[in-house]
Amino acid sequence: DADVTQTPRNRITKTGKRIMLECSQTKGHDRMYWYRQDPGLGLRLIYYSFDVKDINKGEISDGYSVSRQAQAKFSLSLESAIPNQTALYFCATSDFRGGNTGELFFGEGSRLTVL
């Protein structure tokens, strides 16, 4: 089983619908991230969380919200989806204990299409 699991893997929805992408991890890491991948733009940070009580906006947080339900769970929501939110979304984790340098461990991605 994957250490970082994302659901759903693929989703097609319509403009204005609310969408939630879920991420769970078994790595025991304290830090979790949501990134968005667009062709030619690489990955951009949406939100990140260093623990359950710590949520921070990233580079492109407008139109998104997150919830850290537990150390192992981090959800991304689109309250009212729009077509330019069509993208591949990645959840990632990292662990700074023991002097780790912030290497990210990625899930397999959630492909979202907004019509």
Partner 1 sequence: AQSVTQLGSHVSVSEGALVLLRCNYSSSVPPYLFWYVQYPNQGLQLLLKYTTGATLVKGINGFEAEFKKSETSFHLTKPSAHMSDAAEYFCAVSERDSWGKLQFGAGTQVVVTP
User: Interface residues with partner 1 (CB under 8 A)?
Assistant: 4, 31, 33, 35, 40-45, 48, 50, 58, 90, 94, 96, 101-104, 106-109
* Structure tokens belonging to residue 77: 């929501």
Nearest to partner 1 of 80, 100 (CB atom):
100
Nearest to partner 1 of 17, 60 (CB atom):
60
Nearest to partner 1 of 30, 75 (CB atom):
30
Tell the smallest beta-carbon distance from residue 84 to partner 1 (Å): 18
Nearest to partner 1 of 17, 58 (CB atom):
58
Cα–Cα dist 21/24, whole Å: 10
Tell the smallest beta-carbon distance from residue 14 to partner 1 (Å): 24
73, 22 contact by CB (below 8 A):
yes
51: CB partners within 8 A, 6+ apart? 30, 31, 68, 71
Tell the smallest beta-carbon distance from residue 45 to partner 1 (Å): 6
In the sheet that 19-25 helps form, which strands lie side by side, from edge to edge? 4-7, 19-25, 73-78, 65-70
